[in-house]
Amino acid sequence: MKKIDFSQLKHNENTIENQKHFDDNQPKFSNQCKIVYEALLRGEKLTTAYALIHYGIGDLRRRVKDLKDNFNVPVESRKLQGNFKEYYLPKNTK
């Protein structure tokens, strides 16, 4: 398991409003990234609905992007029937 310091989460959006929102909520977003990362490491396949219901993650797509952009976590996705996406780690990552 790759050890990640989630307090190092950064934001790279380009508007003042977006940056302020991130700065105000950085601890919450860091905790959500940790929750998502640990679930993926356990082999869970996450959809936005599942992440919201089971973990209270309101924007799974953004947390996945944070993991990819900030920590180079190789999260993959595939489309499911009904045009939903499922996020997971490749088998050789764990």
Alpha-carbon distance values, 91 to 44, 46, 63, 85 (Å): 11, 15, 20, 18
**Residue-wise pLDDT tens digits, 63-89:** 999 899 888 899 999 999 998 999 999
Tally the domains of the chain: 1
Residue 4 lies in a domain: no
Which pTM was predicted? 0.78
Q: Which structural domain, as residue segments, surrounds residue 50?
A: 17-93
CATH code for position 49: 1.10.10
In the chain, DSSP assigns E strands to 76-80, 84-88
Q: 5-51 pLDDT, tens per residue? A: 777 677 666 677 776 766 766 667 688 999 999 999 999 999 999 99
